[in-house]
C-alpha cells in the first residue's frame, strides 16, 4: 500500500466507533490486506480510497479517541510552521475561553456542551489567585467557607471538560488580567510596603511559588502526558509584554522562574506566552517557549510579526477577542460586529492558525470581583461592570448568538478531520419574568454598622487603607466599602471638608448620618469631591445645628483594582490611602473605621430589620432594602432590571445572600443576570444596597439590557 493508503487505513482502524470492537476493525483490515493480490489490485485500491468516506459516514469518533488511539506517547508540540502535533498527529486547536469562576458550577456542563457543539476540541480557563488564596496561606479550591467557594473546584471543571470531549489549556497566573479585580492578584500582597508584584522580588516569588504549588497539587495528574488527563498546554504568566513602558526590558528571569517552578511541580505539557506581537514583540516571551498572539481584528499584521519572532513555529491566537468588556459610564455596550468577527476568524483559519475564542462565554463577575483600568488620560480610571457578557458567541446566560453560528459554520468549513463526532446543540435555558415585588423592610447605614462584629471596628489616629486594616488574620480588607467616622466639634454655619490625595474610588459624605454629596449622574461630576479623578477635592457644607458635635462620615466604595498595564498601575490600595482629611484646613485625627465587606455569611445573618420599605423621606442615607420573591415551581433563569432605580443610584444586589453584582444608574448595563441555581422553590430573599436612593420595587425581565450596542 502507498503511504496515503496506509495513513487513511490507520485512521479507519484507530478512529473506531465508541464501543466498537478493535478486533472487528482489525479483521476488516485483514480482509483488505488479503484482497491485495495481483488480480484484485484495482479493487483493493478502490476500497482503500473509500475508507475515508466510510470514516466520514461513521461521524462519531471523539476527539479523545482520535488523539489517544494506540496510547499516549507525546503531548502537544509546536512542531513547525505547518502546525501542531498532539500525540504525533496533526492538531488544529479550536478552543474557547470558559471561566469556571464566572459560571455557576451547575451550569458548567451546559456551557462546555455548547462549546463542543461548535466543533471545538479545547476549552481554556484562567485561574484567579485572589479567590483561591483569599488570605495568605488559606487556600480554597471549593473546600472553604468563602462567598465563591462553591465555584472553585477547578479539578472538577477540568475533569468535566474531558468528559465532554474537550482538551484543556490552563492559564494559572499568578497574574491573569481578565477584567478581574487586581488581575487575580490577592489584595493582601499590598500590605508589604516593598511589594513589587509580577517580578523577581523575593517577597512576591515566595507567595507565588506557594500558590502554584497548591494549584499543581490539584491538576498535575490531569495532564495529557501524566494521568491521562485533558490538559495539553500551560501559559506562563499573562500578557507580560504589556507590564512595562515602551521597549524597556521586562523581568524575563521572573518568567523563567515561573516556568521552571511549574516544571519542578510536575508540569509536562507545552508552555506558551501570550501578547500582542505588533505592540510588544517578544518582551513578554520565555526563551524557547511558544509565543502566541492576542487581538480582535487585523490578524495578518500579528501573524507577520510572529513570523519575524519565531519563523519556524505554528501560529496560535491565544486570545481572539470575540467582543469587548464595558466600563461604568461608557454609554454603550462594547463588542464587535458579527461581520468583523467572521472576517477575522476566516483570516485566522486561512493563515493556518489555531485559535482560542476569548471569550466563548464571558459569564458574570459576581460579587465585587470586577476589574478596572487605570488610564493615562482623564478620568484616569475606569471600573468594569459586573456583566462579563463580552458580546461573545454565547451570551452571559449561555444563549446562542449570531457569532456562535458564524463560528460553528467556519469551524466546519475549515475542519481537517471530517469523521469527528458532532454533538447536537443543547437547548437554551428558560427565562421567566417573575412578578414585580415590593420591599417590606430596611436597614440604614447606621443599622448595619451596629451589626458589625466588634473586632472589625478599628480605632486609629490616622486614616488606614482597606488593605492595611488589622483584620482578617492580618490580611486586611479586600472588597466592599469602608467607612471613616470622626466626631467633630463645629460651629454653626459654613465649613469645608477636603480629601488630600485621591479617593479610591467613590466617597459619600454624611453629616450626622445624612448624606450631603449628590448621586452620580454624569461624567462632569468626576471633577468633583468624592470622585477618583482629581486629587485634593473639597466640598462646602453647612452645620445647621449650631455650635455642637457632629458625626462626620466618609463612606468609600472600592469599585475595583486595576487589572492591566505597567508596574506603576499596580499601586492599588483602596479607601483613602493617600493623605489626611482636612476640616476647615485642619487635619482630622481620631477615626473609627468600619469595614463593610458584605460577606454572604454576614448578610444572611442580619437582624433587627425596620418594618417599612425605606427610611422616612427626611432620612437621606445609604440603605439596604429587603424583598421576598416567592416561586411556586422549579426556578428558572431571570434578570433583575435596574431601570427605575434612579439615574444616579448605585449599589449591589444580593439573592439569598449571594452577591450577584453591582448596579449603577449611569449605565450602560441595566440588568443583573440571576442564574436559576441561585433561586429555590418557595421564598427567596432579595436585598438591594443603595448608596443614594432606597430601592423599594424590584422588577424582573427575560431579556438582558446591556446598553446600546453602538457608541452614541
What does each C-alpha distance from 169 to 6, 219, 241, 272, 289 come to in angstroms?
Answer: 32, 12, 20, 10, 15
What does each C-alpha distance from 449 to 154, 445, 550, 593, 594 come to in angstroms?
Answer: 36, 6, 17, 10, 7
Q: Are strands 270-275 and 231-235 parallel, antiparallel or unpaired?
A: parallel
User: What residues contact 485, with CB distance under 8 A and at least 6 apart?
Assistant: 551, 552, 553, 591, 592, 593, 594
Q: At 339, is the secondary structure helix, strand, or coil?
A: helix
Grid cell 435555558 is found at 429
| C-alpha cell at position 193 | 510596603
Active site includes 239?
yes
452 forms beta bridges with: none
User: What residues contact 452, with CB distance under 8 A and at least 6 apart?
Assistant: 594, 595, 596
Tell which residue, 50, 87, 380, 44, has the closest CA to residue 228: 87
Burial class of 226 by CB neighbour count within 10 A (0 to 12, 13 to 18, 19+): middle
76 forms beta bridges with: 86
Tell which residue, 282, 343, 354, 275, has the closest CA to residue 315: 354
Contact 517, 539 (CB under 8 A): yes
Helices (H), 512-604: 600-604
Quote the CA–CA distance of 608 and 300 in Å, as a whole number. Answer: 63
Quote the CA–CA distance of 434 and 637 in Å, as a whole number. Answer: 10
Which one of 124, 133, 164, 239 is the catalytic residue?
239
DSSP class per residue in 454-510: GGG-EEESS---GGGSS-TTTT---SSEEEEEEEEEE-SEEEEEEESS--BSEEEEE
| C-alpha cell at position 320 | 481572539
Please provide residue 263's backbone torsions phi and psi, each rounded to the nearest 5 degrees: -65, -45
| C-alpha cell at position 397 | 446566560
Q: At 222, is the secondary structure helix, strand, or coil?
A: helix
Dmax over CA atoms of the chain, in Å, equals 116
Quote the CA–CA distance of 231 and 222 in Å, as a whole number. Answer: 6
Tell which residue, 224, 246, 251, 85, has the closest CA to residue 167: 224
Active site includes 319?
yes
User: What residues contact 263, with CB distance under 8 A and at least 6 apart?
Assistant: none
What does each C-alpha distance from 68 to 60, 167, 224 come to in angstroms?
Answer: 15, 12, 9
Contact 314, 78 (CB under 8 A): yes
| C-alpha cell at position 561 | 483594582
170 forms beta bridges with: 125, 234
Which strands make up the sheet holding 623-631, listed edge to edge? 441-444, 623-631, 682-690, 650-655, 658-664
Which one of 164, 237, 319, 396 is the catalytic residue?
319
Contact 370, 385 (CB under 8 A): yes
Q: Which residues are catalytic?
A: 239, 319
Amino acid at each position: 500500500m502507498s503511504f496515503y493508503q496506509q495513513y487513511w487505513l490507520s485512521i479507519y482502524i484507530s478512529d473506531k466507533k465508541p464501543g466498537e470492537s478493535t478486533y472487528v476493525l482489525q479483521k476488516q483490515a485483514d480482509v483488505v490486506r488479503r484482497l491485495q493480490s495481483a488480480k484484485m489490485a484495482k479493487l483493493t485500491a478502490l476500497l482503500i480510497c473509500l475508507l475515508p468516506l466510510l470514516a466520514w459516514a461513521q461521524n462519531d469518533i471523539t476527539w479523545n479517541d482520535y488523539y489517544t488511539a494506540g496510547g499516549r506517547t507525546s503531548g502537544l508540540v509546536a512542531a513547525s510552521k505547518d502546525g501542531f502535533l498532539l500525540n504525533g498527529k496533526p492538531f488544529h486547536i479550536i478552543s474557547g475561553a470558559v471561566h469556571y469562576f464566572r459560571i455557576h458550577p451547575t451550569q458548567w456542563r451546559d456551557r462546555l456542551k455548547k462549546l463542543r457543539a461548535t466543533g471545538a476540541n479545547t476549552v481554556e480557563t484562567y485561574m484567579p489567585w485572589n479567590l483561591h488564596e483569599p488570605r495568605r496561606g488559606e487556600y480554597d479550591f471549593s473546600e472553604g467557607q468563602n462567598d465563591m467557594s462553591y465555584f472553585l473546584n477547578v479539578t472538577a471543571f477540568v475533569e468535566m471538560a474531558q468528559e465532554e470531549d474537550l482538551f484543556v489549556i490552563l492559564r494559572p497566573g499568578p497574574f491573569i488580567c481578565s477584567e478581574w479585580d487586581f488581575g487575580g492578584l490577592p489584595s493582601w500582597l499590598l500590605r508589604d510596603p516593598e511589594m513589587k508584584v509580577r517580578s523577581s522580588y523575593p517577597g512576591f516569588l515566595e507567595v507565588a511559588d506557594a500558590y502554584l504549588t497548591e494549584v499543581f497539587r490539584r491538576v498535575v495528574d490531569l495532564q495529557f502526558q501524566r494521568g491521562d488527563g485533558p490538559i495539553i498546554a500551560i501559559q506562563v504568566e499573562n500578557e507580560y509584554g504589556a507590564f512595562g513602558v515602551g521597549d524597556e526590558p521586562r523581568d524575563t528571569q521572573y518568567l523563567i522562574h515561573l516556568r521552571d517552578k511549574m516544571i519542578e511541580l510536575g508540569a509536562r505539557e507545552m508552555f506558551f506566552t501570550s501578547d500582542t506581537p505588533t505592540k510588544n514583540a517578544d518582551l513578554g516571551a520565555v526563551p524557547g517557549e511558544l509565543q502566541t498572539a492576542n487581538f480582535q481584528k487585523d490578524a495578518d499584521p500579528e501573524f507577520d510579526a510572529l513570523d519575524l519572532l519565531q519563523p519556524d513555529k505554528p501560529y496560535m491566537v491565544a486570545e481572539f477577542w470575540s467582543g469587548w468588556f464595558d466600563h461604568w459610564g461608557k454609554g454603550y455596550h462594547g463588542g464587535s460586529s458579527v461581520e468583523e468577527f467572521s472576517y477575522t476568524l476566516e483570516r485566522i483559519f486561512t493563515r493556518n492558525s489555531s485559535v482560542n475564542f476569548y471569550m466563548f462565554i464571558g459569564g458574570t463577575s459576581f460579587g465585587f470581583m470586577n476589574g478596572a483600568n487605570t488610564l493615562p488620560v482623564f478620568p484616569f480610571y475606569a471600573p468594569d461592570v459586573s456583566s462579563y457578557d463580552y458580546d461573545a458567541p454565547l451570551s452571559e446566560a449561555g444563549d446562542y448568538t449570531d457569532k456562535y453560528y458564524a463560528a460553528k459554520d467556519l469551524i466546519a468549513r475549515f475542519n481537517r478531520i471530517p469523521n469527528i463526532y458532532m454533538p447536537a446543540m443543547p437547548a437554551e435555558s428558560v427565562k421567566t419574568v417573575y412578578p414585580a415585588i415590593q420591599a417590606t423592610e430596611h436597614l440604614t447605614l447606621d443599622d448595619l454598622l451596629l451589626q458589625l462584629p466588634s473586632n472589625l471596628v478599628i480605632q486609629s489616629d490616622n486614616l488606614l487603607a482597606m488593605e492595611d486594616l488589622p483584620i482578617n488574620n492580618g490580611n486586611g480588607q479586600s472588597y466592599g466599602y469602608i467607612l471613616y467616622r470622626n466626631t467633630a466639634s463645629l460651629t454653626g454655619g459654613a465649613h469645608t471638608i477636603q480629601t488630600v490625595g485621591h479617593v479610591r474610588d467613590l466617597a459619600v459624605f454624611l453629616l450626622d448620618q445624612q448624606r450631603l454629596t449628590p448621586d452620580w449622574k454624569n461624567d462632569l461630576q468626576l471633577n468633583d469631591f468624592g470622585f477618583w479623578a482629581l486629587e485634593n477635592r473639597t466640598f462646602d457644607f453647612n452645620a445647621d445645628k449650631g455650635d455642637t458635635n457632629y458625626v462626620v462620615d466618609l463612606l468609600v466604595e472600592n469599585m475595583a483594582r486595576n487589572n492591566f498595564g505597567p508596574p506603576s498601575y499596580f499601586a492599588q490600595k483602596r479607601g483613602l490611602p493617600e493623605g489626611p482629611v482636612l476640616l476647615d484646613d485642619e487635619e482630622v485625627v481620631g477615626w473609627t473605621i468600619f469595614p463593610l465587606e458584605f460577606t454572604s455569611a454576614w448578610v444572611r445573618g442580619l437582624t433587627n430589620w425596620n418594618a417599612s420599605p425605606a427610611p422616612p423621606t427626611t432620612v437621606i442615607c445609604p440603605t439596604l432594602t429587603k424583598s421576598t420573591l416567592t416561586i411556586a415551581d422549579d426556578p428558572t433563569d431571570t434578570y433583575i432590571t435596574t431601570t427605575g432605580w434612579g439615574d444616579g443610584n448605585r449599589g449591589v444586589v444580593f439573592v439569598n445572600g449571594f452577591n450577584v453584582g453591582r448596579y449603577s444608574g449611569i449605565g450602560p448595563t441595566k440588568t443583573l443576570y440571576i442564574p436559576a441555581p441561585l433561586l429555590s422553590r418557595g421564598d427567596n430573599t432579595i436585598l438591594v444596597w443603595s448608596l443614594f436612593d432606597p430601592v423599594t420595587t424590584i422588577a424582573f425581565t427575560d431579556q438582558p439590557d446591556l446598553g446600546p450596542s453602538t457608541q452614541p
